[in-house]
Amino acid sequence: MAESYNICLDIGGTKTLGAIFDSKDKIIYRLKKKTKAGGDSAGNVEQVIISVVQEMLEASGIKKSQIHAIAAGAPGVIDQGAGVVLFSPNLPWRDYDISTPIQKAFGAPFHIGNDVNVGVLGEHAYGVAKGCDNVVGFFIGTGMGGGLILNGKLFTGHGFKAAEYGHMVLEPEGPLCGCGQRGCLEALSSKKGMSAYIVQQTGRGRDCMLKDNIQNGVFKSGALKKALAANDAVAMEAVDRACHYLAIATGNMINTISPEMVVYGGGVMEAVGDIFLEKILAEVDRYCMPSIRKTVTLKAAALGDDSILYGALAMIQGKD
């Protein structure tokens, strides 16, 4: 009998990552491709997904009939049960049934969930939070995503809309967030939030190494690492401010959930995670009850770029 394989995807606004897992949960082939999410056509992204899977099959010599299942994480509010993307901020999807065309193209089940939910699931199943029953995840990238594991299972709430604590309001009179509210954690601590602070400060005549790196409202994580290594004052202030609000949000979530672990992932953590974790740890005790805090560990995610891929694998395994 021919071996079967799982295909897992991380779908972003600019790139799609793909991986083929064998029956021993090892990645045997991977591919990265630009997403080209511009325009109004949801089919553009759908075609990229199909082409990524096809390219991987061709390159690895695996037949369609050997696909056990396909799963993906994507940004936005996703009805995980129906495989429908209700809304995605960086992709042209509204109430879009993505599952049917993918299943039709490959004759295999297709599962999809919110990218950060899926990433936290990956860390719980295969990464730093393995063995923990209650996990809070913060993924710090262009925006700010959250994911929750409660009693050993991914918690998605009513309508699969839970864990959007990137939009926890911490400063009611604070900066405007893309969601329409003011002073959200995302508006203060994400790359967008830090970039906005840097633009504000350089607009006042201060210098910053990152001022020419900010494009479409965000800097690249690698540029932040260089600025911090050079002790750039404005960049350090932006990070201090981001970590201050992350510490407050972390304390609130610790008091609310009493998790065994809080996990921090995303592009910013991959680039400068040690600095962020150090600063959050220095402050977080002020914002949570000591009796709850002493049973919680704060850690950086272990799987890096692969957390969503492994989370997609865990989704498939949860459906079997």
For residues 112 and 217, membership in a common domain is answered with no
For residues 237 and 293, membership in a common domain is answered with yes
- pLDDT, one tens digit per residue, over 48-101 is 889 999 999 999 999 999 999 999 999 888 998 888 888 877 677 789 898 999
Handedness of CA 102, 107, 113, 119 (dihedral sign): negative
Number of structural domains (the chain) is 2
For residues 27 and 95, membership in a common domain is answered with yes
For residues 315 and 288, membership in a common domain is answered with no
For residues 157 and 210, membership in a common domain is answered with yes
For residues 86 and 136, membership in a common domain is answered with no
Rounded CA separation 94/81 (Å): 16
Neighbours of 282 (CB within 10 A): 12
For residue 80, the enclosing domain spans 5-119+307-319
- pLDDT, one tens digit per residue, over 97-137 is 989 999 999 999 999 999 999 999 999 999 999 999 999 99
Q: Which of 57, 58, 56, 51 is nearest to 35 (CA)?
A: 51
Q: 125 in a domain, yes or no?
A: no
Rounded CA separation 87/90 (Å): 9
Q: Do residues 284 and 259 make contact, with C-beta atoms less than 8 angstroms apart?
A: no
Q: Do residues 264 and 277 make contact, with C-beta atoms less than 8 angstroms apart?
A: yes
Rounded CA separation 225/213 (Å): 12
Q: 160 in a domain, yes or no?
A: yes
Can you give the CATH number for the domain in which 81 is found? Answer: 3.30.420.40
Q: 127 in a domain, yes or no?
A: no
Q: 258 in a domain, yes or no?
A: yes
Q: What is the pLDDT, as a whole number, of residue 40?
A: 53
Which of 77 and 185 is assigned the larger pLDDT? 185
- What count of Cα atoms within 13 Å lies in the side-chain half-sphere of residue 63? 4
Rounded CA separation 116/267 (Å): 12
For residues 140 and 181, membership in a common domain is answered with yes
For residues 141 and 69, membership in a common domain is answered with no
Q: 126 in a domain, yes or no?
A: no
